[in-house]
Amino acid sequence: MIQKTQPSAKALVPFVSVANMMRIIHHVGIEQMLIDLATYVEDDFKRWELFDKTPRVASHSDVGVIELMPTSDGEAYGFKYVNGHPKNTSEGLQTVTAFGLLADVYTGYPVLLTEMTILTALRTAATSAMAAKYLAPKGADTMAMIGNGAQSEFQSLAMKAICGITSVRLYDKDPAATAKCAANLANTGLNVVICTSPEQAIEGAQILTTCTADKQCATILSDNMVGAGVHINAIGGDCPGKTELAAGILARSDVFVEFPAQTRIEGEIQQMAEDFPITELWQVVTGAKPGRSSDRQITLFDSVGFAIEDFSALRYIRDRIKGSDFFFELDMLADPDDPRDLFGMVQRAAP
């Protein structure tokens, strides 16, 4: 159970900067951190029904989206601010940036503020691999990674650490992105194969991961490309009007989602009728419903990212920094001597 966290006398809030997040990763080890995050996500999926759940609050524009992703388990409250701007890469900027906050429900006081650009990449990959643990074919050892941008290395290492893959087949329409990914994975123990087409990338792969950034209804995988028995990890469809898979693939697959009300707006299943059958992943994690049940079954994790996964990541960082120097404290909460005299505090000389 999450313990109540009382604010300190000065109401200072622990803050994990980008530099300190990188220190945590180097201290823990990236593969171990992915394993740890997957455990936290899985634990929260097992208590899914305790959480407040709502589709993310999104502000869309022609060039991208800005979103807030809130949730609470009744003891802690968390939210993430995140953007998605595919055009940013061409301007030398990140497609996705994020920060997050965890608060104590009992007082309403924040207990953690942290960067979440790096942390989101880690938790997304950890969630993908956690889902694949339940949905991918037994003994899967090869993944096709279609879309070799900022998420690709994290996805590959998470599948290695959690699912045991030994080979990754890379494809991106931009050869420079593939070269970047291959170089970053060169000394990780994975067999890395550079491919020149999606068709080549999926040869011999039991797990197919699609992760592209264009804000459009694209067909990264057509229906005739996907054979029986594979697991598809579809993480690129994450806003209205943005998909990666042909509708025919969905029609032949058993589709698993995080939160249906959000996925029907943003995921691959936005292409399908409202009554298109889906299974919520938490039901598989708890054993309430089956995941993979046959060798020829096509399983599809239509992942758009959900606030509970961010909550899990915030919990992990809160626990990880205890007793460490991986953070500094922000003076971001007013602390009048008399809680009723905020004006009197304002009259004090600045410290």
Kindly indicate the confidence band of residue 86, based on its pLDDT and cuts at 50, 70 and 90: confident
Name the nearest CA neighbour of 87 among 177, 240, 214: 214
At residue 25 the predicted structure's pLDDT band, cuts being 50, 70 and 90, is: very high
What is the predicted pLDDT for the residue at 81?
98
pLDDT for 240 equals 74
* Residue 311 CA from chain centroid, whole number: 11
Residue tagged active-site, from 44, 172, 238, 254: 238
Query: Does one domain contain both 221 and 207?
Result: yes
Residues 182 and 276 in one domain: yes
Within-domain flag for 3: no
Element (H, E) at 57: strand 57-60
For the record, the structure tokens of 39 come out as: 């455990």
Residues 64 and 109 in one domain: yes
CATH number at residue 320: 3.30.1780.10
Q: For residue 8, is pLDDT > 50?
A: no
188 in a domain, yes or no? yes
Note the pLDDT of residue 7.
45
Q: Which 3 state secondary structure label does DSSP give 41?
A: helix
Query: Over the stretch 96-117, which tens digit does the pLDDT of each residue have?
Result: 899 999 999 999 999 999 999 9
pLDDT level of residue 2 (50, 70, 90 thresholds): very low
| Statement: residue 190 has pLDDT above 90 | yes
337 catalytic? Reply is: no
Question: Could you identify the residue written with the tokens 């000389």?
Answer: 349
Distance CA 222, CA 9 (A): 59
Please state whether 121 falls in left (phi above 0), alpha (psi between -120 and 50) or beta: alpha
Q: Which of 5-14, 24-33, 160-169, 324-333 has the lowest mean pLDDT?
A: 5-14
Tell whether the model's pLDDT for residue 14 goes beyond 60.
yes
Does residue 7 form part of some domain? Answer: no
Residues 81 and 149 occupy one common structural domain = no
Residue ranges making up the domain that contains 106: 13-118+308-347
316: in domain: yes
Span 198-253, pLDDT tens digits: 999 999 999 999 998 665 667 889 999 999 999 999 997 666 777 889 999 999 99
Q: Is the pLDDT of residue 126 over 90?
A: yes
* 9-29 mean pLDDT: 93
175 and 271 co-located in one domain: yes
pLDDT band at 343 (very low <50, low <70, confident <90, very high): very high
Q: Beta 65-72 vs 76-84: how paired, if at all?
A: antiparallel
Q: Under a CB-based contact definition with an 8 Å cutoff, are residues 313 and 123 in contact?
A: yes
Q: Same structural domain for residues 276 and 136?
A: yes
Do the Cβ atoms of 152 and 170 come closer than 8 Å? yes
Q: Kindly report the average pLDDT of the chain as a whole number.
A: 93
Domain count of the fold of the chain: 2
Residue 8: count of CB within 10 angstroms of its CB: 14
Task: Give Cα 300 distance to the centre of its chain.
Answer: 16
CA dist 124 and 41 (Å) reads 10
* Pairing mode, strands 243-245 and 217-221: parallel
pLDDT at 47 over 80: yes
Rg (CA), the chain: 21
In 3D, which of 128, 223, 214, 134 has the Cα closest to residue 177? 214
Do 232 and 313 share a domain, yes or no?
no
What is d(CA 25, CA 32) in angstroms, rounded to the nearest whole number? 9
Q: Are residues 198 and 323 in the same domain?
A: no
Do 110 and 159 lie in one domain? The reply is no
300-314 b/e (C-beta count within 10 Å ≥ 16 → b): bbbbbbbbbbbbbbb
82-104 average pLDDT score: 93
Q: Which two tokens stand for residue 230?
A: 């594979």
Nearest to 276 by CA among 267, 288, 285, 286: 267
| Single pTM value for the model | 0.93
pLDDT at 111: 97
Structure tokens at 318: 């809160």
Which stretch of DSSP H or E encloses residue 191? Answer: strand 191-194
| Tens digit of each residue's pLDDT (9 = 90 or more) over 298-338 | 999 999 999 999 999 999 999 999 999 999 999 999 989 89
Tokens of 218: 């694209």
